[in-house]
Structures are given as structure tokens and as C-alpha cells.
Chains A and B, each alone.
Chain A
Amino acid sequence: MTKHTIHRCLTGVAVVLLCTVSVRPADRKVRIIQTNSAGDNVHVIDPATNTVVGVITGIEVNHGAAVAPDGSRIYISDEAESTLDVVDAKTLKVTNRIPLSGHPNNIAVSRDGRRVYVGIIQAPGGVDVIDTAALKFVKTMQTKGSIHNPYVTPDGKFVVAGSIAGKSVNVFDTQTEQPAWTLEMDLGIRPMAFSTNADGSTKWIFVQLTGFNGFAVVDFATRKEINRIKNPDLPPGKKTVPAGSDPSHGMAVTSDGKTLVVCSRLNNFLYGYSLPDLKLLGGAELGGMGAGWVTLTPDGKTAYVANPVTNDVSVVDVKSLKEVARIPVGFVPKRNTTGVLQ
């Protein structure tokens, strides 16, 4: 081995060490991950430019997306294969497909990144627990009815899974992965979002319900519904959207905890409500159509609304509640999520 070769190898080792030991915050990129449920691809959007900067291919009927907290991976639920697909965040290539106990819907990742929770919509349903170190299925947490959307509460202490058929909110302790409590409601459980107390614990669950253009408010401590808010009626002359998602499907809470944004497919609006007083702040009329899901940038200033009818994503300024851009994506965009990728 020549001196020159040795020097090159050592330089190579040094570069590898730099890459693996730490990733500088400046190297990490905020991205919106947009699944396309009638497509075979997932779009990656840069919120700085509102353009598509990457496409994950080869996943038919992709449904839910979640980003590992360290930004190394993107997890996608794959309805065609009934698997959880693992995508390398740098190459955007599928590296693993983990078989699930049944047909999946949405997913959530634990705060420490060690688990992915997958909602199983195929009866009898449940929440599949995936070990992200071993990339293996661990167990199915039994639920009352099959599961549409699972979430991890902001403090990371609970998994909350909603069932349309079972009309139930199923809460599990993330430490023990055992049931904590279950709330039965009068309508099917659609998307949910969470507000927090000053100490970071969960204060309320906002729950969208089958056929209802609005949402319910469930107090996490008492496990009771305390309010039900109906989205505004459309002004005269405006037409409702006849099909797409449920009437109101998709919600998110800004990182400062002061605003809840709520999709209304029926009205084709994204509404804003102040927290904790739940006063309507206004609504953004969308140019796209379908309003089926929403995610926020980490600073809470911008919302990205998936429009399954027009195959695009509406970009909404949360403060002014105005649509500022639309981004074409794949066929029937479904869930979206925000992540900071390596």
C-alpha cells in the first residue's frame, strides 16, 4: 500500500466517521411527506420552496407515513402488500417490507423512534407494534374494532387508536404496551389531534367523527367528551364537495399549542380554531378539492392540505388562513406528515 493510498483511505474513514457520529442540524431538512393512495409513489415536498424534491417509488396503495425522529428513515404503510415499508431517507429507496397482521391504514412512530404503530383496518383489527431496531413485527395490541388511525401523544406516553367500526378510542401505555383505557362514542372515530397541558401531558383529544362536519373534544384526564364543535355552514351560493374523505377529515395543532386547524372536505375549507377557547378564527377556502388530511411545518406557520379529488396539496398560511400555493402530487393524495430528514 503506497503512502498516497493510505492517506486516501484514512480520509475516507474520517468522512464516514463524521457522517455516522453526528448529523449537524444544518444538514437536516424539513420535508413534507405526501402519500398517494391510488398511486405507486410518495412525494417529498420542500416547504421552503413548495416544490416536490423527491419521489419514493414502488409502493402501490400507500396510506400512512411517519418519519423516524433521527431523520434516517421514512415509514410507509403499504395497503397492496399489507406491509410496513421502510424507506432510507437519503436514497428514498425501500429497504425493507415488514409483514403485518392484516391490511393496514395509518401509522405513528414513538418519540424515541424504537417503535412504529400500525393501525390494522382488517377485522378483527388492532395496532401492530413494529420493533424498528430489529425491523420485525412484535405483537398486535387488541382494540375494540379495527383501526383507522393510531397516534402517539405529544408526551410520548400513550398510543391512541381510533376505530370507525368499533366507534372507540383505544388508549395504550407505550411503556407496557397494554391497554390503558377505552372510550366508546356514538359515531365512528376518524382523525384525531392533541393539545397539551403546561407540563407536556395530554390535555384534550380532538376527535373527528363519521358523517360529522366538525369534531368532538375529549378530556384526557376524565376520559369524557366535553364539547362538540360543528364547522361553519357554507355561505349561500357556495357548493359543497359531494365526495372524497369524510365530511371533516384531518386536523393538527400548531407547535405553540394555540391553534387547531381542521379540514372540511364538505365545505372545501381549512378552518382555524383558537386554543384553548375553541373560537373560530376563520377559514381558508381551498383551490384544490377534497381536503382529506393536514400537516404543519415545525414552526406551525404553514399547513399542507391533501386534496384527493384534484391530486394536489394546498399550502395555507395559518396566520392569515389563505391558500398561498398548490403543489401537484400523485393520484388521490392521502395522509401527509412533517419530518426532519437526514
Chain B
Amino acid sequence: MNRRSLVASCVLAVVIAIQALVPVSGAQKTWTPARTADGQPDLQGVWLNNDATPLERPRELAGRSQLTDAEVTEFRRRAAVLLADNANDFAAGDALYLAVLANVSRYKSRNSTDGASAMIEREFDNRTSLIVDPPDGRIPWTPAGKRRFDADLAAGQAVAPAGPEDLTNVIRCLTYGVPRLGVNNATGAGSLGYYQIVQAPGYVVLVYEAIHETRIIPLDGRPHLPENIRQWIGDSRGRWEGNTLVVETTNFSPKSNVMGSGEHLYLVERFTRVAADRINYEMTLADPTTWTKPWTVVIHLKQRHETIYEYACHEGNVAVMHGVLAGARASEKAADEQRQVAPAAPASLDFEYFKTQVQPIFLAKRPGHARCISCHSSGTPLRLQPLSPGSTTWNDEDSRKNFEAVRRVVVPGSVAKSPILTHPLAEQAGGDFFHSGGKHWDSQNDPEWQALKTFVVGR
């Protein structure tokens, strides 16, 4: 058994297991789809993935696969409030649900380029994640897979790309990827979630409005392309299992990035029309180099009696090449000019020093005090990663996140402007007035405070 068939067998097993787990609605039991002229179950039409449910279950809802009806009603009300006020930023993908969960009164995102009025109304139901397997609703990352995913996330937020290669496939208008999930579901659900399905004898065609990508899927059982031929959206083959269209896709490009996966992605999608206006769209993703086991997502596609339109996003387009890249060069030029008139910038913060000398301070127990981590792993603006059960420190991945969080309370080189130094230090020793976590150090001579100072000003 070669690698591909081994993975395929695993995915098939998972798919069968999921079929047993996913409840069958009344509509599924009784509703029989019409047939096309050549006898296929008819999936044709324009469909929208408009689930507000996030791809992964938020940690705040850990252990809860379902919201109560009252909670759903409340979430809808909160969402309506956010959508009604254009002072809120556009909340793409999972962002709306997460904002509603956090019950924010104002949604702001530095990645948004539009306001709430550009959003469409999203659909809330009782589910707390689109992922139905694993049961915790979370992606079962391998460390390497998570690194690739995070790198793609960072590339999406790159402020000074050297060239187009530093930008994501999405920003470059190369592809929004298959399956259509995107980072934080941003290109999956909502106004970018329109599909059109067209059927012809021997073929099913999936047209994505964004960004005019089309998958032509043969149903005649032909073999996949040779392994050395790789495509942005892979190579798909379809078949019918009863009324369900099953599509297997392989041969993804190494430059693809589907939640951290690329050339090793093996995808099985199942499209079942369970009512005149709904397709249950289930997908199982496998890649042992990215995830520890296959995982499965269920999306509800709702029929829309609308026309899909041209979505003008093309490689090399002016907004990206002239806007993003020219903007980056202008920023660099301004920074060069600033450096010529300003004193030398202080040394940048040292991650290794942070990991070995600063992080232990967050875990240290001082008599009578709560530890820093006891407050700062939830509910405070400086948010540290919670320790895994049984762990006494953080792994590299979480240390990186902590480092990024702490950067926000440090002005490199400045003791007085760095809250991490002034907030927990007694006022009479030079600290600020009040820290709701208490004053941990009475003197700047305290070794822990000195260690933090070294981190801020450099060695």
C-alpha cells in the first residue's frame, strides 16, 4: 500500500465514522433530490456558505458542542447590533462570532478595509464549531503544521513585504484555496462564500464566485494526474454514493496553503442535498505532516436565488503591486529619513532571554501574592498562554505567543514607558499608581525587576 492509499484508507475510515456520528435530520430522511437529465441527483444552483459558526470551537466554549436556544437568540441579537453600526469594522469569517462571544460593544480590526455596512447578515445556529471531528472541535496540529499555518497568518499581516512572494496566495489573488476555509475561515464563510454548481453528463463543476475559481470534476473514474503534476486547487475526482457526491482531491501544489497543509493534503468532500434549499457539505482533511489525524468539517450550504458576479481579483493587480508594495517602499524610505535625524534605535527584544529569564518570573510564587499567570492567562489585556495541564513551563510555540503579547507592554530601551516595569512596581519605588494584580516589587533592586529591566533595555 503506497502512502496515498494509506492516507486514503484512514480518511475513508474517518468519513464512515463521521457518517455514524452526524445526526440525520428529518429532511435527510424524507427528502429525495430531483434528477438531472442524465440521472444525477440534482445539486445545481447558487449556494452560500453563510454559517457564523467558527471553524474551531473557541476555548471559552471548551466542552460544549452546542449552545442553548437562548444563547443563540442572544448571539443573533448581539450580531445585529454590531452589523447595524458602520462604526464597527468588517468582521470576516470567524471574527463576527468571536466578537459576539466576547460581547464587545465595538469591533475593530487593523486588517479590515471596510465597515460593518459591507457585511451580510450571518446565520447563527446551536453549533459551536464547524469541526465535528475531533470531538473537541479543534484542529489536531502537528508542531510543524502549526508553524506553517502561523507563517501564512504572519504573511497575511506583513507590513513591509520585500516582494509579492512575501504575500499570501490570497492577497496576491492567486487562489483562495480548496477547500474554501482560509485563515480563520475568512475566505470561507459570509460574502465570499458563494458557490455555483453546474452538472453535465460525466462532470460536476464547482464555480467559486471569489475569486472566479472553477473546479471541473470528472465522474468517470479516471485516475488522478501523475504525482509530479501539481495544481493550486489539486486534482479532483468525483463519484456518486447514493445521493451524495463524493469528491477526492490530491496533487496539491507545495505552494498551496490550506490550514498549513500543501502538497500532502488529501481531501474528501461529500455533498448531500438534504432539502430543496440546503446541501450538507462535509469535508475531511488528512495530512500526517500537518495534523496528527484527519479532521472533519460540516458546512451548511443554503440555496440563494441570486446571480454570481465577476470578482475582480487577478494576479499582479494594481492594488496589490502598486498599493501594498509601493506602500512598503515608501515606509522604508520614511524610516531611513527618520533614522538620519533620530538617535540610534535601541536593541530589539531578545526572545531567548525572554524565554529563559523573563517567563519564569510569570510563574514564580511570591509569599502572599497570586502568581502573574493566575490572572494573565485570562481576562486581562496582557494575555499569556495558559499552561497545559501538568506543565511547569511553556513550549516554544506558546513562548512565542507570550513574547508577542509582552512586546505590547514594552517600549524597548525605555524603563519609564514600559508598563511591564512600572505597573507591578511600588509607586514609591518609581512604579505607577495601581496594578489590580498588586505591587510585586518594593524596590528596583529586586532581582526579578532587574531581569525585566535587562529585557527592556538590552544587555
Chain A interface residues toward B at CB < 8 A: 37-41, 60-61, 79-80, 102-103, 121-125, 142, 144-146, 165-166, 242-244, 290, 308-309, 311, 330-332
Which residues of the partner chain A approach B102 to less than 8 Å between Cβ atoms?
A: 123
A and B contact pairs by CB, cutoff 8 A, 18 listed: A38-B369, A38-B375, A39-B368, A39-B438, A40-B365, A40-B368, A40-B369, A40-B370, A61-B374, A80-B371, A80-B375, A123-B60, A124-B103, A142-B70, A244-B434, A290-B434, A311-B438, A330-B368
Among candidates A37, A41, A146, residue contacting B368 with C-beta atoms closer than 8 Å: A41
Q: Does B379 sit at the interface, judged by CB under 8 A?
A: yes
Query: Min CB distance, A295 to chain B, in Å?
Result: 20
Q: Mark B416-447, 1 if CB is under 8 A from A, else 0.
A: 00000000000000000111111100000000
CA distance A309 to B436 in the complex (A): 8
A166: nearest chain-B partner, CB-CB: B103
Number of A-B contacts (CB under 8 A): 79
CA distance A37 to B434 in the complex (A): 13
Which residues of the partner chain A approach B404 to less than 8 Å between Cβ atoms?
A: none
Which residues of the partner chain B approach A125 to less than 8 Å between Cβ atoms?
A: 103
Which residues of the partner chain B approach A38 to less than 8 Å between Cβ atoms?
A: 369-370, 375, 435-438
CA distance A61 to B71 in the complex (A): 28
A188: nearest chain-B partner, CB-CB: B105
Which residues of the partner chain A approach B71 to less than 8 Å between Cβ atoms?
A: 124, 142
A55: nearest chain-B partner, CB-CB: B368
Among candidates A60, A79, A309, residue contacting B434 with C-beta atoms closer than 8 Å: A309
CA distance A60 to B68 in the complex (A): 32
CA distance A243 to B67 in the complex (A): 37
Query: Min CB distance, A249 to chain B, in Å?
Result: 12
Of residues 90 through 115 on chain B, the ones whose CB sits less than 8 Å from some CB of chain A are 101-103, 105
Q: Does B378 sit at the interface, judged by CB under 8 A?
A: yes
A122 touches B70 (CB 8 A): no
A243 touches B433 (CB 8 A): yes
Which residues of the partner chain A approach B68 to less than 8 Å between Cβ atoms?
A: 142
Which residues of the partner chain A approach B378 to less than 8 Å between Cβ atoms?
A: 103, 122
CA distance A311 to B71 in the complex (A): 39
Query: Min CB distance, B52 to chain A, in Å?
Result: 14
Among candidates B103, B375, B434, residue contacting A165 with C-beta atoms closer than 8 Å: B103
Which residues of the partner chain B approach A308 to less than 8 Å between Cβ atoms?
A: 434, 436
Query: Min CB distance, B57 to chain A, in Å?
Result: 14
Q: Does B74 sit at the interface, judged by CB under 8 A?
A: yes
Query: Min CB distance, A135 to chain B, in Å?
Result: 20
CA distance A79 to B374 in the complex (A): 8
CA distance A284 to B82 in the complex (A): 43
Query: Min CB distance, A102 to chain B, in Å?
Result: 7
Query: Min CB distance, B373 to chain A, in Å?
Result: 9
Chain B interface residues toward A at CB < 8 A: 60, 67-68, 70-71, 74-75, 101-103, 105, 365, 368-371, 374-375, 378-379, 433-439
Which residues of the partner chain B approach A122 to less than 8 Å between Cβ atoms?
A: 60, 378-379
Tell me the interface secondary structure of chain B in the complex. Answer: loop
B64: nearest chain-A partner, CB-CB: A101
A37 touches B436 (CB 8 A): yes
CA distance A41 to B370 in the complex (A): 9
B368: nearest chain-A partner, CB-CB: A39
Which residues of the partner chain A approach B435 to less than 8 Å between Cβ atoms?
A: 38
In this complex, which of A144, A243, A331 has the most chain B Cβ atoms within 10 angstroms of its Cβ?
Answer: A331
Given contacts A124-B101, A332-B436, 16 further A-B contacts (CB under 8 A): A38-B436, A39-B369, A61-B370, A80-B374, A102-B60, A103-B379, A123-B101, A123-B102, A124-B71, A142-B68, A142-B70, A290-B434, A309-B434, A331-B368, A331-B369, A332-B437
A243 touches B434 (CB 8 A): yes
A78: nearest chain-B partner, CB-CB: B374
Query: Min CB distance, A39 to chain B, in Å?
Result: 5
B368 touches A61 (CB 8 A): no
CA distance A288 to B171 in the complex (A): 57
A146 touches B103 (CB 8 A): yes
Which residues of the partner chain A approach B105 to less than 8 Å between Cβ atoms?
A: 165
CA distance A308 to B379 in the complex (A): 19
CA distance A330 to B368 in the complex (A): 7
CA distance A290 to B70 in the complex (A): 38
A79 touches B438 (CB 8 A): no
CA distance A125 to B103 in the complex (A): 10
Given contacts A103-B378, A330-B368, A331-B368, whether A144 and B101 have CB atoms under 8 Å apart is no
Query: Min CB distance, A281 to chain B, in Å?
Result: 29
Given contacts A60-B371, A61-B374, whether A332 and B74 have CB atoms under 8 Å apart is no
Which residues of the partner chain B approach A332 to less than 8 Å between Cβ atoms?
A: 436-438
B68: nearest chain-A partner, CB-CB: A142
CA distance A309 to B375 in the complex (A): 17
Query: Min CB distance, A239 to chain B, in Å?
Result: 11
Query: Min CB distance, B375 to chain A, in Å?
Result: 6
Query: Min CB distance, B157 to chain A, in Å?
Result: 25
In this complex, which of B370, B375, B379, B434 has the most chain A Cβ atoms within 10 angstroms of its Cβ?
Answer: B370
Given contacts A102-B60, A142-B71, A166-B103, whether A242 and B433 have CB atoms under 8 Å apart is yes
Query: Min CB distance, B41 to chain A, in Å?
Result: 39
Which residues of the partner chain B approach A80 to less than 8 Å between Cβ atoms?
A: 370-371, 374-375
CA distance A166 to B284 in the complex (A): 38
Which residues of the partner chain A approach B368 to less than 8 Å between Cβ atoms?
A: 39-41, 330-331
Given contacts A38-B438, A144-B74, whether A331 and B433 have CB atoms under 8 Å apart is no
B370 touches A124 (CB 8 A): no
CA distance A125 to B374 in the complex (A): 20
Which residues of the partner chain A approach B70 to less than 8 Å between Cβ atoms?
A: 142
CA distance A262 to B358 in the complex (A): 42
Query: Min CB distance, A234 to chain B, in Å?
Result: 17
Which residues of the partner chain B approach A123 to less than 8 Å between Cβ atoms?
A: 60, 101-103
Query: Min CB distance, A195 to chain B, in Å?
Result: 31
CA distance A123 to B67 in the complex (A): 12
Which residues of the partner chain B approach A102 to less than 8 Å between Cβ atoms?
A: 60
In this complex, which of B71, B74, B368, B379 has the most chain A Cβ atoms within 10 angstroms of its Cβ?
Answer: B368
CA distance A168 to B75 in the complex (A): 15
Which residues of the partner chain B approach A103 to less than 8 Å between Cβ atoms?
A: 378-379
Query: Min CB distance, B311 to chain A, in Å?
Result: 35
A309 touches B370 (CB 8 A): no
B367: nearest chain-A partner, CB-CB: A40
CA distance A184 to B371 in the complex (A): 37
B374 touches A60 (CB 8 A): yes
Among candidates A39, A41, A124, A309, residue contacting B433 with C-beta atoms closer than 8 Å: A309
B102: nearest chain-A partner, CB-CB: A123
B375 touches A61 (CB 8 A): yes
Which residues of the partner chain B approach A145 to less than 8 Å between Cβ atoms?
A: 103
B370 touches A60 (CB 8 A): yes
Which 7 residue pairs spanning A and B have beta carbons closest together?
Answer: A38-B438, A331-B438, A243-B434, A80-B374, A60-B370, A165-B103, A60-B374
CA distance A60 to B60 in the complex (A): 21
CA distance A137 to B379 in the complex (A): 22
Query: Min CB distance, B127 to chain A, in Å?
Result: 15
CA distance A144 to B73 in the complex (A): 11
CA distance A290 to B433 in the complex (A): 11
CA distance A289 to B119 in the complex (A): 47
Query: Min CB distance, B105 to chain A, in Å?
Result: 8
